[in-house]
Structure 1
Amino acid sequence: MIIKHLDQVVNTKDDIDTPTWNSRRLLLAKDGMGFSMHDTLIKAGTETWIWYKHHVEAVYCVEGEGEIEVDGGEVYPIRPGTLYALDGHEKHWLRATKTMRMICVFNPPLTGQEVHDEEGVYPLLAEEAKV
């Protein structure tokens, strides 16, 4: 069994802070669950170009407001209670009008140190899972 509290992640190597988002990585590949789970803040007034070329992601908004614009022009509002799943590796813009707190799940799981490259992609990194 794995028990963690957000306080155990904040201000550690698993707390990745960028100019547009802050991802507190709760479960990672090393935890052996087959997915990773993140408590992520999308900062108010920002937009981020994202393309999960190697991953699928499900996102559930628990706080804040914003929108996701899928490459091709479709725009969907995000508010608490909104879930979106990028099951087709959709390229997209993520924008926050008010800081959004998102619970994110990735498959394959992240190792914890990924950040978006110039294409908005997370690299596919491998890490040993616990046995």
Structure 2
Amino acid sequence: CNNVAQGGATLCAMLRTHDKKLKSVAATSGISALLGITEPAMFGVNLKLRYPFYGAMLGSAIGCGYVTLTNVLNISPGSAGIIGFVCVLPQCMVNFLIGVVISLAAGFLITLALSKSRRFNKELEDAAQ
């Protein structure tokens, strides 16, 4: 769920920034985070702007909380992100996918809410320069 929340936060940051280079990095790294590779999104966008990282942490906590409460079990450690369903028991797959959607939406929406804050708007403007 963390990978998906990082991707959602990165894609939200892509929509909020005006810097073309940052938009490009956020678009490609956000999609790769949804598929399980979070390093470009985390280090290239989220930590740089700070507020997407906070949104991703909260979104991940909400999604992982749902997955934990519904007792989703993995067969083995393996794939992460959206494609992580291949390692989940068949009877847990629906709850896993619901948790992934919750993480994605929460990461995106919390990042959107934080980006409207005056404090983080200044950082957006500074990153664009």
TM-score class, shorter: under 0.3
Structure that is richer in strand per residue: 1
The alignment's TM-score, normalised by the length of structure 1, stands at 0.25
Between structure 1 and structure 2, the one with the greater Rg is 2
Select the structure with the greater relative contact order (CA < 8 A; seq sep ≥ 6).
2
The alignment's TM-score, normalised by the length of structure 2, stands at 0.25
Structure that is richer in helix per residue: 2
